[in-house]
Structure 1
């Protein structure tokens, strides 16, 4: 029998973060629509934030796998 706790918590976490991201993007988009000059700035900033997030995710992943290999962990995918 599969443990249901991680499924429930991960689902809840995704719903909460997804809802928060939706309303944050909506709020910024509506705020930018009040002033058309700011719309391109919001989109550019959103792109920069997304790029920084992906870069940091890559760096943290490489660091984690490097540390795991250095400690002798088997990180191969079955």
Structure 2
């Protein structure tokens, strides 16, 4: 009886994963057929996301600089060992 458990579980796993992969590929294929209007929307979203990432990186850099300057003014030793 115990010899069949892995066979059943592996078979079930392949069936579930195969079905999931089929529907994932089908969904992506159908999304690709929707047209150019979604491609323009996607470009706008990626562009906006890039702007947000740049603003975040610059604000993080500015915060680090302000923290470093404030630490120096307070007399903290910020040198690397």
Is the TM-score greater than 0.5?
Answer: yes
- The size of the alignment, in residue pairs, is 47
- Of the two, which has the highest radius of gyration? 2
Deviations 1:11-57 (A, max 9, x none): xxxxxxxxxxxxxxxxxxxxxx7622101101101110110010000
Equivalent position of 2:72 in the other structure: 69
Q: Decide which of 30, 40, 44 is 1:41's aligned counterpart.
A: 44
- Structure 1, unpaired ranges of 5+: 1-32
Name which of 53, 59, 81 aligns with 1:56.
59
Gaps of 5+ in 2: 1-31
Measured on the aligned residues, the alpha-carbon RMSD in Å equals: 1.9
User: For 1:7-26, what aligned pairs fall within 5 Å after superposition?
Assistant: none
CA distance in 2, matches of 1:37, 1:47: 15
